Structure 1
Amino acid sequence: MKRKNYLVGILLLALLISTCKPREDIKEASEAIKKGRYSAAIKSLKSLLMIDSLNPEIHFNLSLAYCYLDSVEKAYQHFLKLVELNSSLKDSIELKLLLAKFLKIEPYASSPIPMAKMNQFKGSFGPDNELLAVAAAKIDIADIYLLKLDGTLIKKITSKGMNTDPAFSPLGDKIAYVSNIDGDEEIYLYDLKNDTTIKLTDNTYTDFSPSFSPKGNEIVYVTDRDKNWEIYKISLKDKFALRLTKNKFWDGFPSFTPDGGHIVFSSKRNGSEDIYIMNSNGTNERLLFATKFDETDPHLIGENLFFRSNRDGEFEIYKFNIKTQKILRLTFNEVPDWNPRVAPDGTKILFSRKIKNKWQLYFLNLSSSISAEVIAQKIKEIQTP
C-alpha cells in the first residue's frame, strides 16, 4: 500500500512539473520579448508549440514577437489562431495596434460629426469631452457653432464675417475664436453664460490659432505683428500681450501642457516644420520631435505628443510617446487629415478630413481600439487570392 501511494505521489509530482515547466518557459519568452530578444523568444516558443499547439499564450507571444521583427505573415498566422481559439488575448491593445499598422487600418474607432453637408474646418472639445465648438460653412464663409458630439446643434454663435479657430476655455464658459469682421483677423471671446462677445486683440495685423491656459486666464496665439509669425500670450484680465518667440522663422500652433508649465508649438527654424517645447514664459526653447518631414499642430498630454505629419505622404494624425520614443499612426487614408484637437482627458481627438474637396469633422475614440474580429477579417481579405 505504501509503495502504491509512493508511486501515485511520484506521478502527481511529474505531472505538476510537466505542467509548470511550460508555463515558466512561456513567462521567460514573454520577458525576452519585453527586453527586445525576439529571436530567442521565438525559438523557445516554437519548441513549446510542438508540445501544445492549442495554447493561446504561445500563439499570442509568437504573433507579438513576429510583429516586432516585421515578419508580417507569421504574425498574422498566429493571430488568426488566437481568434480561432477565442482567447481573450486576441484583444491585447499592444498586439492589435501593431497589426493595424501592418494592415494600414486605423487602430481606433472613428466617426464623422454629422452636420448637414457643411464644410467643417475645425473643432474644439469642451471640458466634458462631449460638447464641441465648430467652425463650419455652408459655402465659404464660416461661422462658429456649438453642438454635441452626435451632431445635435445647440446654437450658432456668430453671424457675420469669416470665423474660425474655435477654442474652449477649461471651465467651458468661454469660446475664443478668430474673425475678420473688422477687416483683419482678430481674436474674439464669447461668453456662453452671458451670450456676449468681446474683442480680445485689436490691431492691424493677423492674429490666429488661440489656445487657453489650463487656468483659463491666458491665451497663446500666433501673430504677424512683428512682420514675422511669432507666438504671443495675452492676459484675459488686462489684454496685455507678451511676445514668447523671437526669430525670423515661422512659429505656430501653440498649446499649453495640462499643468500650464510649458507650451508646445511648431517651427520651421530648421527647414522642415518641427515640434518644440518652451516654458510658459517663453524661456528654455528646445526641440521635442523632428524629422525631415513636416510635423505640426502639437498637443502634449502626459507622455503622449499628438500632431499631424506628412511623413507618409498626405497629412495624417500621429501619437508619439516621448518616454518610450514609440510612434503610432492614428489615421490611414488617401486624403489629408488636419487640425487635430485633443479632448481634455486625452481619450478623443477631433480632426478635419478632406473628402472630395469638402472638409468633414471626425473624432477618434482612443478608448475604443479596433476589434480583433475586424483585424482578422482584413487579414483574410489580403490572404485571399
Structure 2
Amino acid sequence: MSGVGAWIRYGDPITPEQTAFAADHYRAAILQPWELDAAAELKRRRPDMTVLCYKCLSSTRDYEPGPVYSSGVSYKEAEDQGGNWFAARLDGSRIEWNGYGGHWQMNVQDPGYRARWVQNVTAELADSPFDGVMADNDVFEDYYQLNLPIREASSMADLRGGLDLLVHAAGQSLNRVHKILVPNIAESRRLPGRWAAHAAYGGGFEEVWLGYGPENLFDPHTAEAQLPQAEGPGLSILRVPTDGNDNHPNFTYGLAAFWIFSGGRGSFSATAHDDYSRTQHIPALDWALGKPKGNPKGRHHVWSREFSDGWAAVNFNNDGRRRRRITVPSGLVDAAGNPAPSSLVLPAQRGVIYQRGQNH
C-alpha cells in the first residue's frame, strides 16, 4: 500500500496523468460518479485502494445533464414525482443553496425521497467499479442559508433526523450489495455517538479536521474532541484545510496528528476549500511509519507517538507562546534524508514527522 493519502477529486475532469499519479500515491479516492473509467483504472492498478463515488444526500443539481448524477435523485426525477421531494419555504418556493447556484435543497424528511435515493444509488453501485459512496452534506447546522423554519422542518434537528434515517437506510442497502457508505459527517464532535453511528457502514469523512480554514484552526479542546474520529469505525478520511499550497504547514500538522491518533489506519488529505481538482501531495504522505510502539503520549496538548519506522509529534495549542521542547528518538531522518535533531521546539499548531533512517 502506497502511503496514507486520500485523493479528494470531484472537481474538473480527471486526466490520465492524475490517475497514474494517484495509483502510486494514495490509499483512498473520492471521484464523481461518472468517472467510471478512472475508477476502473485505479482498481486495476491498485486493487487495495478504496475508490468511492460522490453522492449528495441533501441536494439535487439542475445543471447536470445525466445520465449519471452527483445526487441520489435527479432534478428531473424529483419534478416528475410532483415536486414534493424538494424542500420548500413557508410560502412554497424552492430553496436554492446560498453560494452554490443550481443546488436545490431536498426534503430529507420525506420517506419517498429517502427510499428513491437509496434505490437509485444502490442500483447504480451494484455492478460498479466503485467500492462505495462518499455521501456528502450529512449536515449539522444551516450552512446554506435555508433560514428555517421551512415546510416540514422547524429546526436543523428535524433535518438531522431525516438525514439520520437516510444514512442508516442507505448504509444497510449498500452493504447488502457489498458496497460501503462513507458520509461526510459534519461536526460530529458536538453530538456524542454521531460519528460512530453514521460511520458504521464503512467509514466517515471529516472535511474540516482540526480547523475550518487555513488560518482558522481549532483550539486544543475542540481539536482533541475530534480525535476519536481517527479510530474508525471503518475507513476514516480526514481532511485538513490549507491555502492550496502543499508546502502549507497545516499539511504536516494534520498528517502528524493523523499518524498519532489513527496509528496509520484510514486516510488523510490536505486541500484548500473546494479545491478538488488536483493531486495534493508531500513526500511524507507516502511514508509508512510502521506499527505503533505504545499509545499516544500527551501533556499540555502536545502529543507524540513512536512507531517501528518513524515518529510524529503535534502541538494543538493555539497560543503562540505555548511552544514546547520535546525529545526526538534517535535514528530518524527528515524528508531530505537529513538526521533528525535530538530535540526540537514545536510551535503552536504545528506538527513534525520523521522516518527511520536506512541504517537503523
TM-score (norm 2): 0.29
TM-score (norm 1): 0.28
* Larger relative strand fraction: 1
